[in-house]
């Protein structure tokens, strides 16, 4: 257990509304990631952060923004939700203390439905 | 660019028989490779990782994988399947050095175990 929580765990929202998902970690890891999981695609990276206020885009970043004002929290915002953003969203951390072997540890996921 | 291909979208075995889940990778440098497992409606759990220390990697729950550079493969095996092994399995490679350590996922192999 890497001390990662996600909130909410489930959300149903309407097209066009803003949505913010929260990832919280308790172990002071520098790197945090947001992925989405869709059938037939595995997980795909949306955005990642390498420190407070330091973020970068992943391969499917269109329509998403992120913020990291504290080490422990990484927020994912859908500015105007669309049905194509219906998905399961996973947050992950990477442990870089000691030898960095690049594995990531995942939160429990948030199931988002956009109607 | 780094990528992984899981050769089977679905594998079905009988309890007590061997499991083989196939994965081929592409990488422009010595790769870091992982297998993750996802049980139904659960998060992702790291099964094992290859980081060039040894070509035969042992993981949790009796799983192991062998890194074969000549074949660009990283197949996952288990000598004897258990009902609790039924899940989706993802072969994963670390992205390029300038991509923040992101993980690139295969499309997944669903493992069914028959009694």
Q: Tell me the DSSP string of B38-76.
A: E-TT--EEEEEEE-SS-SEEE-GGG-EEEEETTTTEEEE
* Binned average pLDDT, 10 residues per bin, chain A of 115 residues: 88 97 94 93 93 94 96 97 97 80 90 97
Asked if A101 lies within 8 A of B51 by C-beta distance, the reply is yes
Residue of B102, B105, B107 to mutate for A, most A C-beta atoms under 10 A? B102
**A105 close to A56: Cβ distance less than 8 angstroms:** no
Structure confidence at residue A1 (pLDDT): 57
CA distance A73 to chain B (A): 18
Environment class of A20 (CB within 10 Å of its CB; exposed 0-12, middle 13-18, buried 19+): middle
Residues of B in contact with A92 (CB under 8 A): 103
* N-to-C CA span, chain A: 33
* N-to-C CA span, chain B: 41
Distance of CA A3 to the CA centre of its chain: 15
pLDDT in tens, B65-98: 999 999 999 999 999 999 999 999 999 998 877 7
Kindly calculate the radius of gyration of chain A based on its CA atoms and give it in whole angstroms. 13
**Cα within 13 Å of Cα(A6), Cβ side:** 26
């Amino acid at each position: 257990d890497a001390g990662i929580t996600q909130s909410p765990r489930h959300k149903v929202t309407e097209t066009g509304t803003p949505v913010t998902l929260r990832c919280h970690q308790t172990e002071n890891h520098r790197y945090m990631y947001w992925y989405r999981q869709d059938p037939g695609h595995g997980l795909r990276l949306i955005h990642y952060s390498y420190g407070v206020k330091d973020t970068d885009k992943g391969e499917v970043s269109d329509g998403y923004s992120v913020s990291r004002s504290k080490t422990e929290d990484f927020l994912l915002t859908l500015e105007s939700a669309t049905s194509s953003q219906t998905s399961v969203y996973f947050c992950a951390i990477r442990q870089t203390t000691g030898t960095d072997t690049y594995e990531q540890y995942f939160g429990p996921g948030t199931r988002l439905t956009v109607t | 660019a780094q990528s992984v291909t899981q050769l089977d979208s679905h594998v079905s075995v009988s309890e007590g028989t061997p499991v083989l889940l196939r994965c081929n990778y592409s990488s422009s440098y010595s790769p870091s490779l992982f297998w993750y497992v996802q049980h139904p409606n659960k998060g992702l759990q790291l099964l094992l990782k290859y980081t060039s220390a040894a070509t035969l990697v042992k993981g949790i729950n009796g799983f192991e994988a062998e890194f074969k550079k000549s074949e660009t493969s990283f197949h996952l095996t288990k000598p004897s399947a258990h009902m609790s092994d039924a899940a989706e399995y993802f072969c994963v490679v670390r992205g390029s050095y300038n991509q923040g350590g992101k993980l690139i996922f295969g499309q997944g192999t669903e493992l069914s175990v028959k009694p």
